[in-house]
Every structure is written in structure tokens, then in C-alpha cells.
Amino acid sequence: MRVTRKRVRNLTLRITPPHGDLRVSAPLRASDAFIRRFVIDRLPWIERHRARLAALPPAAPLEPLSKAHRDELKRAIPPLIGKWQRTLGVQVAFWGVKHMRTRWGSCNTAARRIWLNLELARHPAECLDYVVLHEVAHLLERGHGARFKGILSQYMPDWKARRAALRAHRPGAATPPPSQPTRGRVPSACSKA
């Protein structure tokens, strides 16, 4: 088990392929005892997901994406950003493409900056359109609550199917994801060990 302390509010537990390594991200103030209890309480979940990971066939390595893929993706993005900016009445200050290990996109709402994963070049245009809408919609609603989902549903009624197509594959990997992270809230009374 590898524990990384970060400036985060919640504990996050991940099981990573190919060997089912356990990684925990913990708030700076979380004690070692609290982290240990958190992991022990989730042992059935851990074992279930490690078994599912072990049952997957070995992944064939993906061919690296070329400069041509990046250029093609960079040509496809501006019309989509323009469409969703006009539709939602927002303005993106900057957008870029980069390799991201765990996300399809990200949005910094304060800077109005959007990053999109280069791996989207491997997916149909409908998936790229969904990710662009998802990130631009964050300029209206920061979280993923009911209002955010309502925006997605209003402008892209099939967004759940598009999201499911992306979730079938982790960014940067040929196999489906072994699990979603589990999260646990750290009580404010927790102290750093």
C-alpha cells in the first residue's frame, strides 16, 4: 500500500493495474491510525476489485499517439468549444490538449481554462463532443450535482451513453477500468500522526 498525503479533503482508495497495487491519497491531517482503519473497513471492496482485475485478460500495449493525432484533435476542438460557448453563453479563456492519466478533461473555473486528454483522439467524435460540453458546462456549474446533469441532459440527451462509452476504457489504457475509487470523509477532528 502506498499512501500519499495531499491537500485534499477526502481519503481516496485506488486499486491500480496490472497487479492490483493499493494507493491511498489522504489529507495532510489524517492520522496513520485513521488511514489504516479506512483501508481495513474496505477490505471486502479491495478483494472484490482485485479479483475482478485479476480476471481481466492482459492488455495489449497501445500504439503511441503521434503528432498527427494531436494535430487532428486540435483541429476538431475549436468548433466544438465555439458551439458550446454560444449555446451555454460562456467564454473559455484557454484550452489545450495534453496526456492525462486518469481524466478525459479538466476545467479550472476561475481561470476559465479547459484541458482535454490527448487519448480522446482514439475515440469517436461523439465522445469528444461530450467531454467538451462537460468541461464547458463547468463554467456554469462547478460540481456534478443535479443542476450540472440538467445542463448536460438539456443540450445532449444521450450524454450518459457517451459517458459510458468513455468509461469502458481508462485514459491511456487498453483495458476497462478495474474500479471506481472509493472515498471516505475525514473527520475534522483527525490529527496528523
Which tens digits make up the pLDDT trace of 33-61?
999 999 999 999 999 988 888 887 776 67
- The Cα 190–Cα 2 span in angstroms is 20
Residue 86 has pLDDT above 60, yes or no: yes
Domain ranges of the chain: 2-56+178-185, 67-167
First-last CA distance in the chain:
17
pLDDT at 190 over 80: no
In CATH, what number does 67-167 get? Answer: 3.30.2010.10
